[in-house]
Chains A and B, each alone.
Chain A
Amino acid sequence: MAPRIIVIDDENIVCQMSKRVLEQEGYQVETYVDSTEALERIKTTPFDVVITDFKMENVSGMDILREVNQRYPHTRVIMLTAYATLDTAIDALREKIYDFFPKPVKIDELKKAVKRALDTR
């Protein structure tokens, strides 16, 4: 069964582009623009890799990260953010984040990171 990946970002284009590129790599990809819906989905369904934006309305990337860590210790979380500051990076690392991508995201790097995440599970 193909690895399951969830992409959460309130920018629809990020979701769509990630989905297309990652699906081409043979993964099964779900995308969510609304982070609240994504959180509900995560609660019921385990994913292998979670790619989430940091700053979102209502439910933030940190909320998603905490939820995943609590429920699925083997799931890897990759965080995307439009403005990376040291504080957000440190906070995210404390919560056992797998990787951290500042925007604009380099898709090749992202693909490699996903592959690495799946390999090291």
Chain B
Amino acid sequence: MTIKKRIFLAIAVQAVMILMVCIFSYMAFRNMLSKLQTIERIDDLNISLLEMRKAEKNYFLYKDVNSLEEAITRGEDRYGKIQALEGYGDTLNPQAYEKLRDNLELYLQKARSLLQEQTPPPNYELEFRNLGHSLTALSETILRTEREDINKIIHASIIRLIGSLGVIFLLQLLFGHYFFKVVNQELNRLQWLMQMISSGKIHEAVTNEVPHNEIQMAGKALLDMARELDKREQELFQAKKLASIGVLIAGVAHELGNPLNNIAMLGQAYMSIYDMLGDEEKKTFMGDVLNQTERIQKIILKLLDFSRQKKPELENYHPLEIVNRGVELVANQLKISNIKLHLNADEPLPMIQVDAPQIEQVLINLMVNAIQAMPQGGEMYIDIASPPPGEQVIIAVRDTGRGIPREILANIFDPFFSTKGTKGTGLGLSVSYGIVKEHGGEITVSSEWEGKGTTFSIKLPAAAEKGA
């Protein structure tokens, strides 16, 4: 389910619960209000009954017929009120009202007959007064019960209100926690994905084929975009390679042309001055021919290296280990050429993911170039810089040699581009470029012409987190 839908659902559940609490509270208050009205009426009734009885008492004290008539009038008035109360429907005990009404009716009957018969029977007064007494007692009982009842209702309402608010609060917390967890988890995954992409591990980064929510969709879109970009970059790289085939062919023609010419000239001269040659000289001629064929062989091997495009077999190495292996191989040349090596490595360095022999080849290449740039000796610096998190490790090889002229700086990675004449094939840097590119890294050059030296920097992807 999408996060939007989930949020909507949670809000809907909350809203329904709050609405229910509102309805419930409204009903409880209404109930209380009607109870209060009932109590008011019963109270009213009670007072009237007491007044009726006061008139009744006066009658018996002063034998005042008017008082008895007043009592009857009040009683009749109240009788109607009781009926109204009974009809109210919300009363606690209908039987009690019925009894009250019946008793009042009986009381009124007796009062009326007392009014008609001037001389009441002997026990009539006591009986009548008892009836009146029970009437007020009953009314008071009803009043008390109703009061107790409303107290109960108020208590129960308060408890229910607090309880349901508590449930809503808990639900709120639960939803909050749930959404925090979901969003946090998805964001973490997205962050991981971005790190994978930025460190060039596009094919190790995997997302659900069918994204389930918005953040996963964003992640998938991001990955798709990165893959598309990667694809295009590779296409572009291939296109560039194709473009450089023209340069390559011209290079091959020149590189192979020279030894071929040498062989041709050796052969022609050999035939032309054959009679004048001694045995040793003839051997030298043939040896030279063989040397030239070896030279051709070497060019062809390098050319194959260049065209092979071997996928690097990646393993985790400490950058210093790789650099040291390379340095060992050129140590002797450094000594002969009177070059001092300064090796600086940041601490700590992350592991790098490389094909060790390939990267060693690149480093040796750069170091040999540096040595050749300093025929009078000098200093060679190798700096290994620890990258900020998520970025690549930089290995820089710097020399204090003659530098590279600005106008050819852009061509130095082209195949067969060489400034070394017969000493180089012009393939070293272009092969190095290919290797570093295949590692998902980058190789750059900066140079100050006129003796301030050259720096080649290789950027290589750090291995996954753990090997810091």
A residues engaging B (CB < 8 A)? Answer: 10-11, 13-14, 17-18, 20-21, 24, 55-57, 82-83, 103-108
Contacts and interface: CB of A to CB of B under 8 A. Distances in A.
15 contacts: A11-B258, A13-B262, A13-B266, A14-B262, A17-B266, A21-B268, A24-B272, A24-B276, A56-B421, A103-B260, A104-B261, A104-B264, A104-B265, A105-B261, A108-B272
Given A82-B253, A108-B268, A20 B258 contact: no
Interface centre among A10, A24, A104, A106 (most CB of B within 10 A): A104
A103 B261 CA distance: 6
A13 B292 CA distance: 10
Interface string B256-275: 01101111111011001100
B261 A11 contact: yes
Contacts of A108: 268, 272
B231 to A, nearest CB: 36
Nearest to A14: B265
Contact of B420 (A20, A21, A55, A57): A57
Interface of B: 250, 253-254, 257-258, 260-266, 268-269, 272-273, 276, 288, 292, 419-422
A63 to B, nearest CB: 14
A17 B265 contact: yes
A107 B288 CA distance: 17
Contacts of B269: 17, 20-21, 107
B273 A21 contact: yes
Contact of A107 (B272, B292, B420, B421): B272
Contact of A104 (B260, B272, B421): B260
Given A21-B269, A104-B264, A108-B268, A10 B257 contact: no
Chief secondary structure at chain A's binding surface: loop
B253 A83 contact: yes
Contacts, number: 64
A7 to B, nearest CB: 11
Contact of A105 (B254, B265, B288, B421): B265
A83 B272 CA distance: 25
Contacts of A55: 254
Contact of B422 (A11, A17, A83): A11
A104 B258 CA distance: 8
Contacts of A17: 265-266, 268-269
B268 A106 contact: yes
A82 B421 contact: no
Nearest to B419: A57
Given A20-B273, A57-B420, A13 B253 contact: no
Contact of B268 (A10, A56, A103, A107): A107
B422 A13 contact: no
Nearest to A33: B422
Contacts of B261: 11, 14, 82, 103-105
Q: Which of B253, B258, B263, B288 has the most CB of A within 10 A?
A: B258
Given A57-B419, A104-B261, 11 more contacts: A11-B422, A13-B292, A20-B273, A21-B272, A21-B273, A24-B272, A82-B253, A82-B261, A83-B250, A103-B261, A104-B263
Nearest to B277: A20
A56 B420 CA distance: 9
Contact of B262 (A11, A21, A57, A106): A11
A55 B420 CA distance: 12
What are the 4 tightest A-B residue pairs by CB atom distance, in nearest-first order? A82-B257, A104-B264, A103-B261, A57-B421
A15 B450 CA distance: 32
Contacts of B421: 10, 56-57
Contact of B258 (A24, A57, A82): A82
A24 B273 CA distance: 8
Contacts of B258: 11, 82, 103
Nearest to B260: A104
